[in-house]
Chain A
Amino acid sequence: MNLLLSDDYLLQDYPENITNTIRSGHSTCVRFNRKGDFLASGRVDGTVVIWDLETMGVARKLRGHSRNVTSLSWSRCGRYLLSACQGWKVILWDLRDGKRYREVRFRAPVYGAELHPWNHLQFAAALFEDQPMLVDITEPIEVRYVLTSVPKRTTTYPDADAAQREKQAKEDAKNMTTAIVYTASGTHLLAGTTKGRLNIIDARTREIIYSEKIAGGVITTLRLTESGKELLVNAQDRIIRTFIVPNLSAPDLDPDTIQLPLEHKFQDVVNRLSWNHVAFSASGEYVAASTYNNHELYIWERAHGSLVRMLEGPKEEQGVIEWHPHRALLAACGLETGRINIWSVTTPQRWSALAPDFVEVEENVEYIEREDEFDIHPHEEIQKRRLDQEDEDVDVLTVVENGAGLDEGVDGFRMPILFNLGESDSEEEFVNAAPGTLRRKSPGDNEDGGNVTGEERGSGKKTAGGGAGRRGRKK
């Protein structure tokens, strides 16, 4: 609705400065829901916190993990949230009541788990030093399908001797899947391995239909745009790559002719930076990355492959970053403090909006008086003329959607408003350091005095950035 009134509202489509800092415990990963009104964050202590982006306050807390939360994934409707933790566990939460909807245990820590984009009862998980799994939780007892990390061989050697086969098997065994995502349609899975290979897996047959070495190191992150046509890959070889994903759900798809053309390589050749985490912007127009051992966030434009902005924030290395699904807003987790920093655009107040008689002009405009401007008419006549002019047909009922197209299908679920969130805040600042003793969770908070609550946030003004910086310096 507000788009109707803001002509220059979305001029700037990448964030500029820190607008908010929110904290609940020590967050390690964040993920926006599809509608973009909630942000889920996973904490070191295993708690998952749902933030309301409109109020920048906690909407829900989910307790069930006991270890660091490693990944989060929202269902399309925004009602279910899948969280994976280092404690070998994946939980699907129902946000209607905040209860565990399903819990799946693995025999290894989970790197990441992603929900099927259309079916919240199916997910794929990448496990630490184990084969990735495709899990169907439609039935009360989940069905697990083990996927392979072994690259597809284009040529087979039927006559190869045992030694060669053994060598190959040994090599294959070194391939471990480290990241796995669904394609937009959910028919295929994209998996990245420790050897820098990308495997495309058919989700139905669970076979690798395509495999290629795309990076020189371990693939750490795979991200797709909302349309699923672009793939963003972060690997440990200090290069961020973008690829064009072919239409894998085409009926006449021939696995042998799949091509995954490389579009861009982003790297910092001067500083030789490596990247902690990467994210696509809402439309895929920009690529953002957090840097290893560095405080800045980098933003590249994808069309030209050029660096457009280096975002400065608190003096702290940023970990997981996420771009809002339709706004110019970035959320990043500070590695040291566990705060979630939010970069966004601050639009200046248009002063003409406050006084309807005034307009903002660039240069002097000579005023031309209307012919009847100072004519005096009786009040009744003016009133009558006014009322007669109101012959326009008005429609107060029909809802006109303003092209944002966000409402399809994602509008169904509304999170209940909880008032009793405060009850848990008293304990969350403290962790068990040793039996019988407690210490404060974040060492940086000891200097903050007594006025910091469990959920602090910036004031939403520019001073927030300054405040965060001040806190940073104190340490």
Chain B
Amino acid sequence: MMPAGDGTVPRPPGPGRRLALDRPAVPKEGLDHVPVPTSHLTLGLVHGRLLGPDLDLGLDLAHAHAHAHDHAPFPVRARARAPSPAAEAPVVLPRVSVRISPDGRWIASASADGTAKIWDASTGAHLETLVGHMAGVSCLAWSPESNTLATGSDDKSIRLWDRVTGSPAHAVAHREDAAATATMAMKGMAGKRGRRPRVGVPDEGVRGGKTGRGPLLGHHNYVYCLAFSPKGNILASGSYDEAVFLWDVRAGRLMRSLPAHSDPVSGVDFCRDGTLVVSCSTDGLIRIWDTLSGQCLRTLVHEDNPAVTNVCFSPNGRFVLAYSLDSSIRLWDYVSGSVKKTYQGHTNKGFSIGGCFAVLSDADDGFEDEDASEDGIRRQAFVTSASEDGDIVLWDVKSKEVMQRINGAHNGVCFWVDVHGSTMVSAGQDMLIKVFRHRPRHVPVKREYDSSSGANGVNGHHDDYLPDAAAADEELQRTIGADAESPSPQVKEEQM
């Protein structure tokens, strides 16, 4: 299996062109599948089936990227700090983002054509296309109730969308307010209109933000990362203008601007109780902020100072996971300010690829009947990451060992991986979004087949269980090829 895009295979058009950094040829044995012990196969995330990415999305994204190049080229930042062979080359961070909603039912994907799409996580059906941004969308965030989606774009704006209607979340208020204003004017209030707050007047550099209608404006450059607070009342955004903004979601008002970094802010996240915000940047710093006071409480920096491209809190909020461009993921204890673990085995040198923590409980493994007690549930945590060779890699948090590697999940770069419960979704340079599901250890393979095929009306493309990773990989590639030809969105099933 040759991963696409490693220098020998011509890379497909699209996000690859944004990559000004030519990735050096990496020894193939380091890239290709690390042999996965069988014990890991049984323990780890074995994706039971693969919901086929549908044709629509692939085409849209393909179109999108070409489009984006004409109008919104990604900036070239010559702040390469990573001591990589390509250090003199500018580091740019293109991103295709995909996120599962907190309730696990929806998948949102951001696209460089300025739209975002919402998909049904269980069927793969395309539900909504969110149109409104004037440039490519590079980040997404779901509100905790899964009702609102925030998108950040290269047009410097952030938009909030109602998941159900697919329309801007503030639009209703806008319309009603306009109506109210009109009514008032008819009631003889016209004379006092001058004293009314003028809608859309810049206030501290915020246009539209103060009145809460339309997009959230305020960033001076591309909005690159977003995160909702656990209560959903605050939205944090990081931008190429090197600042982190905290927004009052209800009013659409800029609450606080954190003078965060000296390079584009590449990642933000809230901790579980919402009192801390973490931000990271290609300047190599990871900063922890107090949400209420807006003060920096801690700065984490690695000795080698690699550019950090993505960051998230651990599920208990006690650690910070940072993805950096030296092909390492580091788990920081932010209280002591030290690196606790370093996860390696993926490739990450030019893109700001995404990943997150994955937590599997016994219930996901089909143990729920045996172990009914509430606190007796064993939970296991993984670190997941996309890789620039198209793989998806999963590590055990404690042992730092690669638990599973999904070889060639995407052709070219795999940009983003998000996990919710037993569902994993990934987006890649091949303009596909793939959904993986954990196969419970204690559920027979056959049953899984039956239930899913019954529910989804699979087109009969069944494959036998393939225990061999390489064979499975091959099978996967074949499926993708088949999908690209299939005329309508269909659900495919795949065993690995």
Contact = CB atoms under 8 A, between A and B. Distances in A.
Contacts of A59: 233, 250
B148 A417 contact: yes
A421 B173 contact: yes
A394 B292 contact: no
Interface string A63-99: 0000000000000000000000000000000000000
Interface string A440-475: 000000000111110100001000000000000000
Interface stretch (B127-135, B329-337, B455-463): B329-337
Contacts, number: 187
Contacts of B250: 52, 55, 57-59, 417-419, 421
A432 B189 CA distance: 13
B233 A55 contact: yes
Given A398-B316, A414-B231, A427-B184, A5 B342 contact: no
Given A421-B250, A426-B180, A349 B169 contact: no
Contacts of A6: 290, 297
A390 interface: yes
Given A55-B234, A59-B233, A419 B340 contact: no
Contacts of B234: 54-55
B202 to A, nearest CB: 11
Contact of A1 (B176, B212, B275, B331): B275
Contacts of B340: 390, 392, 394
A418 to B, nearest CB: 6
A356 B301 contact: yes
Contact of A55 (B201, B213, B248, B381): B248
A187 B298 CA distance: 47
Contact of B251 (A398, A455, A460): A455
Interface string B287-298: 110111111111
Contacts of A354: 287, 296, 299
B298 A353 contact: yes
Majority SS at the chain A contact face? loop
Given A355-B299, A417-B249, A422 B212 contact: yes
Nearest to A52: B233
B232 A396 contact: no
Nearest to A436: B188
B181 interface: yes
B339 to A, nearest CB: 7
A54 B291 contact: yes
B169 A419 contact: yes
Interface residues of B, number: 83
A386 interface: yes
Nearest to A345: B293
A400 interface: yes
Nearest to B379: A397
A420 B176 contact: yes
Nearest to B361: A397
Interface residues of A, number: 55
B194 A450 contact: yes
Contacts of B339: 386, 390
A353 B297 contact: yes
A351 B290 CA distance: 14
A2 interface: yes
B341 A390 contact: yes
Given A390-B339, A395-B316, A451-B201, A427 B180 contact: yes
A6 B291 CA distance: 13
B342 A421 contact: no
A453 B210 contact: yes
Interface stretch (B11-19, B266-274, B417-425, B434-442): B266-274
A427 B176 CA distance: 12
B288 A5 contact: yes
Most chain B beta-carbon neighbours within 10 Å: one of A356, A396, A416? A396
B315 A386 contact: no
Nearest to A420: B173
Interface string B160-196: 1000000001101110110011001001010000111
Given A390-B400, A396-B397, A416-B145, A54 B297 contact: no
A455 B255 CA distance: 13
Interface string A1-28: 1101110000000000000000000000
A63 to B, nearest CB: 15
Interface string A390-427: 10111111111000000000000011111111110111
B319 A2 contact: no
A270 interface: no
A110 B68 CA distance: 63
B399 to A, nearest CB: 10
A347 interface: yes
A422 B251 contact: yes
A2 B160 CA distance: 28
Contact of A394 (B291, B299, B319, B334): B319
A169 interface: no
B359 interface: yes
B319 A422 contact: no
Nearest to B213: A422
A426 B298 CA distance: 42
Contacts of A426: 177, 180-181, 184, 196
Most chain A beta-carbon neighbours within 10 Å: one of B177, B184, B253, B293? B293
A143 interface: no
Contacts of B294: 460
A37 B294 CA distance: 17
B9 to A, nearest CB: 30
- The 4 A-B pairs with the shortest beta carbon distances in the complex, nearest first, are A396-B314, A55-B248, A5-B297, A2-B275
